[in-house]
Amino acid sequence: MSGIKDKVVVITGASSGIGEATALLIAERGAKVVLGARGPDRLEALAARIAASGGEAAYVRTDVKRREDVCNLVGLAIERYRKLDVLVNNAGVAPISLLDELRVDDWEEMIDVNLKGVLYGIAAALPVFRRQRFGHFVNVISTAGIQIIPTMAVYAGTKNAVRTITETLRQEAGDKLRVTSVSPGFVQTNLANSMTNPGGKAQIVERMEKMGFRRRRSLVLLRSPSSSRRKLM
C-alpha cells in the first residue's frame, strides 16, 4: 500500500462487499476514492463514513450495464481530481443455476454486468490512461472461472472471458500502464442477493459462512505489488 496517498481510484460495485472494503481501506491510507454503484443511498453513506474518518470521496450512481454511467464515473474523477490513477472493475452479479432451468434473463444479466461492465470500464479509462501516460487497471475476477462446477456455466464463462480480456490488455498495455487481475474465492459479501434460484442461493450462503473470508481480510489480495507484467491470482 506504499505510494497510495493522493492516488485517485475509481471503484465500481463500491457500495458493498469487496468494493466497499477496498474503498474504506485505501481511503484510510490517503487515496481519493470515486465510488460507483447502483444504490445511491449506500454510496452516500459510504462517502460520509470516509469523510468522517478524514478521507476524501466522491460518488455517482453507476449501473455498469450502461456505458454512459461508467463514462460519467470516470469523468467525475477527472473533473474532481484532474487525473485517474486506478480503475477497479469490481461490480458483479451471480444468479447461478443449472442450464436446464433456462434462466435466460439471469444469463443476460451476468453477461451485461460481469463482462460488458468491465469492457465499458476499459473503454472509459483506457483513453485517459493513454493520454496521461500512466494508469492501473484492477479487474476482480473469481476462482469460479478456474474450477468449473455445475450451476456455474454462465457465471464462470463471464469470469473466464474477463480473464482472457485482462491478459490481452496486459500484453497490449506497454510499459506505461499496469494491469492486475484478482481472483478471490469465497468472501462474505452481498453477492448472494443477486441469486434468483432459492436452492442455489441457500447453498452459496452456507458455503460463504463456512469458507468465506471477511471483507476486510480479503483485501490482502490487493496489498501485494503488481506490474503490467504480473497478475495476482
SS (H, E, C) 137-150: EEEECCHHHCCCCC
| Spatial distance between the Cα atoms of 166 and 178, rounded to a whole number of angstroms | 11
Catalytic, out of 59, 81, 120, 155: 155
Cβ atoms within 10 A of the Cβ of 231, count?
A: 17
| Spatial distance between the Cα atoms of 79 and 23, rounded to a whole number of angstroms | 19
| Spatial distance between the Cα atoms of 45 and 117, rounded to a whole number of angstroms | 24
- Active site includes 155? yes
Give 71's Cβ-side CA count (13 Å radius). 5
Catalytic center residues? 155
